[in-house]
């Protein structure tokens, strides 16, 4: 669980690493890639006798496929190669790989063959690599449609063809792999937007290259090891005041539940006292399901909280706008979500106050909210999730959690992270409110802001994953169920973090 963070690189970063590694690469990176791809094919077909089909494209990704085929042939594994390209147009390394395949006795087909009666043991996509930036056209789209329709395991080499390696956007048509073997390091497109639906289980092979020795990591995949130092058991000599006063303001008429969900999440993740300011004047005076929450008038919460979350069910009425005007100048950490973000997006003065805050600020938008803040729309945000998160971080001098498939966390200094916990069952009402409560609770307990945000994002998804393993969801999972699971996972992390590492570690 506490494995080191994994570096992530964009296409330009991977290209820079490749150029720096080439002078010392013997054998070549393509030879290494083909070798490890063949090893992966053997692993995936260990219990599936039969022929491997490799579809090779017109570039270096196809060259990797030719090397892979030659290695499998030398290992006496039956393999069929279909080549969607012209030999004379191949890059030099890929052409050499094709010639070596032929010299080893291999043949290439110009069309995808019909599968044998027993089916293919493995289908390999070596059509296009990380450099693809334009939508695919025929005949490649036809090849991908055919490959996607084949049963059994499907392996993508480096990245599924048709997937943008930087953004995770499907370029019109993309290979749907059950497994992806990524070379050198992770690419952001494997982890966010359409990436997880196309990449399947992702394995990284560095090709005997140390990427971070050649180029500092551009981003990182979130891991508990990144915040392990804060996962410590509580001293015996403590009281509720030791764990902070958290404030949450929201819960307008018809949206009481949003503020209560955030409050319950903050309570069960250990904040000392939780004040919930309900914008609805007719809201209940007590949360009968969680009477430990202190429901107060919003103005009282402004004065009582050491960290404040605004937005869950806040509404867009004038009263909510005035509450924002009072809260934004406060010299305490603020977590802004939901309607707090919508109010900022439609009021330039609130935007200026937010961007000029001296105290720490966290924004947790979903794509539509991010689009409003950026003056664009959800589709534009989704087309470049990394760019959108980084743009918001700079614009508001704030930490950003751009929610969605592969939540992107971005800091104003250009650092970014991608989270890989969670599942589609979390696409339901109130999940964002729970995340807001988790972040608020950790900050109330004196966690550094950055650690609190990345831990809460990772924990949020890990709690849902635990429930799915236990048979709760993914379909029909409710946000309230995630709260107790988050408490259980968080306490388990603390126990594991306190366990001494083996001497060999």
Q: How are beta strands 219-221 and 6-8 bridged, if at all?
A: antiparallel
Is 60 labeled as ligand-binding? yes
Contact by Cβ (8 Å): 220, 42: no
161 annotated to bind ligand = yes
* Phi–psi pair at 201, nearest 5 degrees: -75, 125
**Any known ligand binding at 331?**
no
**Is residue 146 part of an annotated ligand binding site?**
no
Is position 258 annotated in a ligand binding site? Answer: yes
Q: Is 257 annotated as a binding residue?
A: no
467 labelled as ligand-binding?
A: no
Residues facing 122 on adjacent strands: 52
The answer to whether 64 is annotated as binding is yes
What is the C-alpha separation between 280 and 347, in angstroms, rounded? 22
Q: Can you count the helices (H) and strands (E) in the chain?
A: 18, 18
User: Could you tell me how many residues make up the chain?
Assistant: 505
386 annotated binding-site participant: no
Asked if 38 and 71 count as a contact pair (C-beta separation under 8 A), the reply is yes
171 vs 205: CA distance, rounded Å: 25
Alpha helices in 239-338 (DSSP H): 256-268, 298-304, 318-327
Check whether 147 is labelled as a binding-site residue: no
Question: Is 9 annotated as belonging to a binding site?
Answer: no
Q: Return the HEC string of 137-168.
A: CCCHHHHHHHHHCCCCCEEEECCCCCECCCCC
- For residue 197, give both structure tokens: 């639906």
- Pairing relation of β-strands 416-418 and 408-410? antiparallel
Nearest alpha-carbon partner for 327 in 311, 338, 316, 342: 311
Find the helix packing angle between 60-74 and 92-103, rounded to 10°: 20
140 is in an annotated binding site: yes
Distance between CA atoms of residues 310 and 44, nearest Å: 49
Is residue 129 a known part of a binding site?
A: yes
- 34 annotated as a binding-site residue: no
Closest CA to 200 of 122, 275, 138: 122
Q: Is position 249 annotated in a ligand binding site?
A: no
How many C-alpha atoms does 338 have within 13 Å on its Cβ side? Answer: 27
The number of angstroms, rounded, from the C-alpha of 241 to the middle of its chain's C-alpha atoms is 35
Q: How many CB atoms lie within 10 A of CB 91?
A: 14
Q: Check whether 475 is labelled as a binding-site residue.
A: no
Residues 144, 124: Cα–Cα separation, whole Å: 11
> Is 406 known to sit in a ligand binding site?
yes
Beta strands in 166-241 (DSSP E): 179-183, 201-205, 219-221
Name the one residue in this structure whose structure tokens are 């924004």. Answer: 363
Residues 6+ apart with CB under 8 A from 51: 78, 79, 80, 116, 120, 121
The helix (run of H) or strand (run of E) holding residue 16 is: helix 11-21
**Residues sharing a CB contact under 8 Å with residue 12, sequence separation 6 or more, in sequence order:** none
Q: Is 405 annotated as a binding residue?
A: yes
Q: How many angstroms separate the CA atoms of 211 and 440, rounded?
A: 35
403 known ligand binder = yes
Q: Is residue 433 part of an annotated ligand binding site?
A: yes
* Binding region for AMP: 403-407, 432
Q: What residues are designated binding site for K(+)? A: 61, 125, 161
Annotated binding-site positions for (6S)-NADPHX: 60-64, 129-135, 140, 158, 258, 313, 366, 433
Going by the annotation, the residues of the binding site are: 60-64, 125, 129-135, 140, 158, 161, 258, 313, 366, 403-407, 432-433
């Amino acid at each position: 669980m506490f494995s080191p963070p994994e570096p992530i690189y964009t296409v330009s970063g991977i290209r820079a690493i490749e150029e720096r590694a080439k002078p010392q690469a013997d054998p070549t990176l393509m030879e290494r890639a083909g070798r490890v791809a063949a090893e992966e094919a053997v692993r995936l077909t260990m219990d599936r006798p039969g022929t491997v089909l490799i579809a090779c494209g017109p570039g270096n990704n196809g060259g990797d496929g030719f090397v892979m085929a030659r290695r499998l042939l030398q290992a006496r594994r039956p393999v069929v190669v279909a080549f969607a390209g012209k030999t004379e147009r191949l890059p030099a390394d890929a052409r050499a790989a094709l010639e070596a395949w032929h010299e080893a006795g291999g043949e290439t087909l110009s069309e995808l063959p019909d599968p044998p009666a027993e089916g293919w043991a493995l289908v390999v996509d070596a059509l296009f690599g990380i450099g693809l930036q334009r939508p695919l056209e025929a005949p490649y789209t036809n090849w991908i449609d055919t490959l996607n329709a084949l049963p059994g395991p499907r392996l993508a080499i480096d990245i599924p063809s048709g997937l943008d390696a930087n953004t995770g956007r499907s370029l019109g048509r993309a290979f749907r792999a059950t497994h992806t073997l990524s070379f050198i390091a992770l690419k952001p497109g494997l982890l966010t937007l359409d990436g997880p639906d196309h990449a399947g289980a992702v394995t990284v092979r560095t090709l005997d290259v140390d990427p971070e020795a050649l180029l500092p990591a551009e981003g990182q995949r979130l891991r508990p090891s990144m915040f392990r130092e804060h996962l410590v058991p509580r001293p015996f000599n403590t009281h509720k005041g030791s764990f902070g006063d958290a404030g949450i303001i929201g819960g307008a008429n018809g949206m009481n539940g949003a503020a209560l969900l955030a409050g319950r999440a903050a309570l069960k993740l250990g904040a000392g006292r939780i004040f919930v300011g309900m914008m609805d004047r007719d809201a209940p005076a007590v949360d009968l399901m969680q009477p430990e929450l202190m429901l107060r008038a919003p103005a009282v919460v402004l004065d009582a909280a050491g960290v404040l979350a605004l937005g869950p069910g806040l509404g867009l009425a004038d009263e909510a706008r005035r509450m924002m005007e009072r809260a934004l100048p406060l010299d305490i950490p603020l977590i802004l979500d939901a309607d707090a973000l919508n109010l900022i997006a439609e009021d330039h003065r609130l935007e200026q106050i937010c961007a000029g805050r001296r105290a720490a600020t966290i924004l947790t938008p979903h794509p539509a909210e991010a689009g409003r803040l950026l003056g664009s729309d959800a589709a534009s945000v989704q087309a470049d999730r990394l760019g959108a998160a980084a743009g918001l971080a700079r614009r508001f001098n704030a930490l950003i959690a751009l929610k969605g498939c592969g939540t992107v966390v971005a800091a104003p200094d250009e650092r970014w992270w991608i989270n890989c916990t969670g599942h589609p069952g979390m696409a339901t009402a109130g999940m964002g409110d729970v995340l807001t409560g988790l972040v608020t609770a950790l900050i109330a307990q004196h966690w550094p802001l950055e650690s609190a945000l990345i831990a809460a994002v990772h924990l949020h998804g890990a709690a849902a994953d635990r429930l799915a393993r236990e048979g709760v969801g993914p379909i029909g999972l409710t946000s309230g169920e995630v709260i107790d699971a988050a408490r259980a996972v968080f306490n388990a992390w603390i126990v594991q973090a306190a366990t001494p590492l083996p001497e060999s570690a």
